């Protein structure tokens, strides 16, 4: 059965879309993902303004409904416009969608700190850890703004071209405040894109950051001519590895079984449009990382976040006192202390152990038990029972004292 793409790409009904047009959404960044997400939101009937640095991009989007540099064959919806003026883009906006790479976020946001309303939710789509501070976006953005800010985090297996083409897709919206998560999810949810909500911000962010490192590894394996056995093994082992790190940072183990974990990991490691995988493939074929990054910088191929994230993960692993063999191996490849063939041999020659799939869940259970344990190693339940017994004893003593006074 052949289903027309337009079936999934239909906007919400006119009755639902009309009030949406009163809600303005500002998108930071006019690259591939910013353009695609802006299109999804505008098709849902919301008014969208892309903030871009380039006058020619703004002019083309506003007059021809075409982004001249990204997704150039896609006609953009009439509710989507663009501007180079931050004042114009942010004026009256109800939501901000942040589509700027993690390593560039601080420099991008600093000039706009006073323009960003403190009560407007920022939806981050950036995936990675800051290479120097090791911050996630949930930590980085409030620090740059110098204040708390309502935030949500969109992650999942979503290639930009397939989003704009209306292929059925799914993603997760995470926020510590479920009301914020629901409000932000409403912008994107439609026939072609299902959005699920969660409060596990750490799990969603760590999954989105680490999967880029593993995608470079997957691309390198493919570039070396290794088969699908290798890729399947790598993806499965990588998911367990990033889950252990995420749980150690406070995430919930089940998050990695969802769209922002194994879902996004599979897409990035196996999909043909993955930037990180493309970089890895060139590494696997013997090209130097320096030449790869220089050529990508000179083109519009986009940022491969996994390259900057790997050394940050290595620092994080050391800070947590943990082990992450795949991520550490890739960090060593990137800094030139080893090559891919040596890294693979090192990983394959590690001591044999038990099935790794249960490690994160076991760690989560240990943390839960630790939280339930009070002083002197006594469980919280036991302490509660002791407190209750003390209360009963005190009430009994008080009653006996009262009777004794009456007898006198």
Q: Could you list the active site residues?
A: 211
Assess contact for 17 and 11: CB atoms under 8 A.
yes
| Beta pairing class for 80-83 and 47-51 | parallel
DSSP at 77: P
The tokens describing 327, both together, are 């991520």
SS3 (DSSP) at 165: coil
Backbone phi and psi for residue 239, each to the nearest 5 degrees, phi listed first: -65, -40
Whether the CB-CB separation of 244 and 359 falls below 8 Å is answered with yes
Degrees to nearest 5, angle at CA 245 with 217 and 292: 25
> How do beta strands 24-28 and 122-124 pair?
unpaired
Residue 97: both structure tokens together: 């969608």
Joined together, the tokens standing for residue 226 give 């290794």
- Contacts of residue 189, Cβ cutoff 8 Å, sequence gap at least 6: 44, 195
Contacts of 364 (CB under 8 A, 6+ apart): 247, 252, 253
Say whether 123 sits in a helix, a strand or coil.
strand
Residue found by looking up tokens 């036991």 in the block: 382
Please name the residues in contact with 112: beta carbons below 8 A apart, sequence gap of 6 or more: 86, 90
Q: 275-284 and 201-223 helices cross at what angle (nearest 10)?
A: 30
154 φ, ψ to 5°?
A: -100, 125
CA–chain centroid gap for 171, Å, is 10
Nearest to 183 by CA among 96, 258, 76: 96
Q: How many CB atoms lie within 10 A of CB 16?
A: 11
> Which position has the token pair 């695609």?
36
Q: Tell me the two tokens of residue 14.
A: 């006119």
Contact of 48 with 27, CB cutoff 8 Å: yes
């Amino acid at each position: 059965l052949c289903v027309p793409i337009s079936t999934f790409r239909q906007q919400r009904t006119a009755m639902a879309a009309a009030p949406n047009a009163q809600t303005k959404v500002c998108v930071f960044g006019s690259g591939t993902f910013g353009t695609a997400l802006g299109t999804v939101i505008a098709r849902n009937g919301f008014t969208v303004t892309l903030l871009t640095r380039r006058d020619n991009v703004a002019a083309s989007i506003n007059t021809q409904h075409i982004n001249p540099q990204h997704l150039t064959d896609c006609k953009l919806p009439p509710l989507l416009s663009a501007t180079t003026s931050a004042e114009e883009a942010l004026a009256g906006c109800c939501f901000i969608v942040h589509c700027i790479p993690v390593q560039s976020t601080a420099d991008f946001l600093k000039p706009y700190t006073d323009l960003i309303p403190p009560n407007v939710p920022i939806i981050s789509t950036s995936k990675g850890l800051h290479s120097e501070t090791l911050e996630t976006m949930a930590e980085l953005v409030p620090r740059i703004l110098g204040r708390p800010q309502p935030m949500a985090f969109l992650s999942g297996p979503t290639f930009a071209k397939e989003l704009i083409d209306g292929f059925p897709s799914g993603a997760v919206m995470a926020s510590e405040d479920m009301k914020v998560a629901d409000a932000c999810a409403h912008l994107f949810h439609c026939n072609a894109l299902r959005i699920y909500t969660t409060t596990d911000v750490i799990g969603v962010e760590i999954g989105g950051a680490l999967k880029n490192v593993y995608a470079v590894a997957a691309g390198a394996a493919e570039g070396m001519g290794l088969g699908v056995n290798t890729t399947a093994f790598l993806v499965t082992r990588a998911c367990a590895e990033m889950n252990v790190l995420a749980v150690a940072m406070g995430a919930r183990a089940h998050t990695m079984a969802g769209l922002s974990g194994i879902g996004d990991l599979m897409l990035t490691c196996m999909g043909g449009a993955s930037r990180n995988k493309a970089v890895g493939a060139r590494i696997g074929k013997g090209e130097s990382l320096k030449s790869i990054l220089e050529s990508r910088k000179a083109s519009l191929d986009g940022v491969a976040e996994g390259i900057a994230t790997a050394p940050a993960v290595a620092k994080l692993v050391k800070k947590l006192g943990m082990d992450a063999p795949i991520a550490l191996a890739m960090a060593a490849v990137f800094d030139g202390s080893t090559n891919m063939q040596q890294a693979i041999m090192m990983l394959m020659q590690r001591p044999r152990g038990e099935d790794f799939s249960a490690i994160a869940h076991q760690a989560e259970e240990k943390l839960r038990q630790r939280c339930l344990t009070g002083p002197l190693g006594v469980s919280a339940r036991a302490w509660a029972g002791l407190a209750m017994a003390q209360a009963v004893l005190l009430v009994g003593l008080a009653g006996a004292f009262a009777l004794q006074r009456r007898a006198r």
